[in-house]
Structure 1
Amino acid sequence: MNANSTDSTDSTSDTSTTDSSAKTPVTLLGLGDMGIALGRAWLAAGHPLTVWNRTPEKAGPLTAEGARAVATPAEAVAAASGPVVLCLLDDASVSETLEGVDLRGKDVVNLTTNTPAEGRRRAAWASERGARFLDGGIMAVPPMIGIPETGGYVFYSGDRALLEQHRETLEVPAGVTFVGEDAGHAALHDIALLSAMTGMFAGITHAFALVEPEKDLDRARFAGLLAEWLGIMSGSAQDLAAQLESGDYEEGVVSNLAMMATANETFVATAREQSVDPRLLVPFIDVMRQRVDQGYGDEGLAGTVGLIRSE
């Protein structure tokens, strides 16, 4: 993971101090695995923490460490003098949880997984209720929270003044990467990166399916080779970005689409020889072949981006 962005002050905090006298209070709604991890990080850093969860028993681990649990979201929000952090199931859960709750003058930080459109609608919804709003996309799993060396971070978008006011507090669980005042951009970055990860997982799964029948093959060594190769190939993201930016889809191309499309035939043939269903590869292979058939065989992959867009 990489927390670099156009925001040059991205960082993670030092949570070594536990003096709560000068620490910003945090109100946290939602205590699933991620919510618990966030709460523990703030408590360890000395932030007074008020928590609410639909199932009250889930607050137990945090109250044992010093958090104050309340019975309703309205009570939690009313008492908030710092950020109100939402870490709920989905956008519908946010609506249900905060239905009728007075948000005037509050700072709402939404770390609930949503879509870009939901992030924008939620920002407008908060503004109508007199609240400032940040949307966030967490690029970490719960064990990474509160441990800066793991590299976890959160994409934030929306009200930058809110972010800067509470930056020190928000940096406690994970690094901060601001991606713009369009409230939908945190979710967009989050889902784009996770979508790329899903494609990578598909490739890894296919690769292991190919080698699985070979009983004398060292899987641990193969995994090391695979991880190294994927790391090297990840640099192609910069090449694709440059081509999309310039509009020259042949710029810097080393392996063109025509060559890749020919190699793809061997990939499919090998899969069948190894009794592997190639369905994890075929959709992208088909898009590449379509672009070649349109006469763009000298390009890199940038031209395939337009093929999979619906507008």
Structure 2
Amino acid sequence: MNTDQSKRNALSPVTIIGLGEMGQALANVFLQNGYPTTVWNRTAAKAEALVKQGAVLAATPYEAIQASPVVILCVLDYDAVHEILDPLGDALKGRVLFNLTNGTPKQARDTAQWAKDLGYDYMDAGIMAVPQIIGTEAAFILYSGGNKESFNSNKELLDVMGASTYLGEDAGLASLLDLAMNGAMYGMLAGAMHAISVVATERIKAQDFSSELLIPYLTAITGIIPNLARQFDTKEFTVGVSAKLAMQQVGFRNIRQASKDQGISTELLDPIQSLMDRRVAAGFPDDDFSAVTELFKTPKQ
């Protein structure tokens, strides 16, 4: 028996259900690291490249689950999760299911309860990576639900996909942090695309502007986040102020007006201006920008 085959036999088999871009990336990294890998996808043709690398294509979800003690599910949404798993009943007993499907904390908690009722180990996860960086040092994945012992016993396998962190037994935590961070990401990307649109009106190339000015500026600005976070935690919005909200309010009006003057919509900026205006009008002109979070609070539905 050669060394590669010996290593392969020593590693735990793993099953990947769902072969979209992310699912394929997950399966590919397990194959590259020598894990015996079984895959299943509703459209079997998506498995062709993986099969050529050594993956086993299961004919059914049941067959895929039976092939491995560890099952990783990565499909479009939770409707798809239940379409696949509900007909299987308690077939997952004795196995650990890691659900890497994107969804809400409520969906994660409901699915965890469903799994508990059927008597099998379940953890929800949030992938903080794009498919292209799965398996690299830049990727990390958050896990919650189940128990710490089960996570620890599978950590070596999980780390193949990206650095793994266990958040606790509340199955909704991974999803909550995942969506919160991605919300911040989309806010940043939307702001960046607005800025690019504004400067492009003067024939400034987006690539030059972004690489030479925008990215260095945004990178530097992230340095104020810890102070804003401290203000949020302590509710001391006038301590360690980087710029008073009344001053930022005026500056932001200039950003909106310049956008209008250049023929660029302000629909992305208008809600931010509204938050500043409301906070200042409520009698808090000396607050820092973090104080607008006081306006975010709404009763839970």
TM range (shorter): over 0.9
Tell me which residue corresponds to 1:144: 133
Q: Report if the CA contact (8 A) 1:106-1:130 is conserved.
A: no
Q: 2: distance between equivalents of 1:276 and 1:246?
A: 38
Counterpart amino acid of residue 78 in structure 2: D
- TM-score normalised per structure 1: 0.90
Q: What is the number of equivalent residue pairs in this alignment?
A: 291
Counterpart amino acid of residue 68 in structure 1: V
Q: 1: distance between equivalents of 2:242 and 2:46?
A: 54
Q: 2: distance between equivalents of 1:24 and 1:237?
A: 41
Q: 2: distance between equivalents of 1:90 and 1:237?
A: 32
The answer as to 2:189 corresponding to 1:198 is no
The answer as to 2:278 corresponding to 1:290 is yes
SS in 2 for 1:137: strand
Moved over 6 A (4+): none
- Among 68, 86, 95, the alignment partner of 2:73 is 86
The unaligned stretches of length 5 or more in structure 2 are none
Q: Report if the CA contact (8 A) 1:135-1:183 is conserved.
A: yes
RMSD across aligned C-alpha pairs, in angstroms?
A: 1.5
Q: 2: distance between equivalents of 1:22 and 1:111?
A: 25
SS in 2 for 1:108: strand
Q: 1: distance between equivalents of 2:33 and 2:67?
A: 20
Q: CA deviation at 1:298?
A: 1.0
Counterpart amino acid of residue 304 in structure 1: V
SS in 2 for 1:228: helix
Q: 1: distance between equivalents of 2:183 and 2:199?
A: 25
- Among 248, 255, 266, the alignment partner of 1:278 is 266
Q: CA deviation at 1:248?
A: 1.1
- Among 106, 110, 114, the alignment partner of 1:125 is 114
The answer as to 2:142 corresponding to 1:158 is no
The answer as to 2:101 corresponding to 1:112 is yes
SS in 2 for 1:235: helix
Q: CA deviation at 1:78?
A: 2.4
Q: Report if the CA contact (8 A) 2:13-2:67 is conserved.
A: no
Q: 1: distance between equivalents of 2:76 and 2:205?
A: 41
State the percentage of identical aligned residues: 37
Deviations 1:125-175 (A, max 9, x none): 111111111111111111111233xx1111111122221111000111211
The answer as to 2:46 corresponding to 1:58 is yes
Matches for 1:127-276 after TM superposition, within 5 Å: 127-148=116-137, 151-159=138-146, 160-215=148-203, 217=204, 219-223=206-210, 224-276=212-264
Q: Report if the CA contact (8 A) 1:133-1:162 is conserved.
A: no
Counterpart amino acid of residue 171 in structure 1: D
Q: CA deviation at 1:219?
A: 4.2
Counterpart amino acid of residue 95 in structure 1: H
Higher-helix-fraction structure: 2
Q: CA deviation at 1:304?
A: 1.5
Q: CA deviation at 1:301?
A: 2.4
Q: 1: distance between equivalents of 2:134 and 2:253?
A: 43
SS in 2 for 1:166: helix
Q: CA deviation at 1:122?
A: 1.2
Q: CA deviation at 1:218?
A: 5.3
Q: CA deviation at 1:22?
A: 1.1
The unaligned stretches of length 5 or more in structure 1 are 1-16
Q: 2: distance between equivalents of 1:222 and 1:51?
A: 43
Q: Report if the CA contact (8 A) 2:101-2:125 is conserved.
A: yes
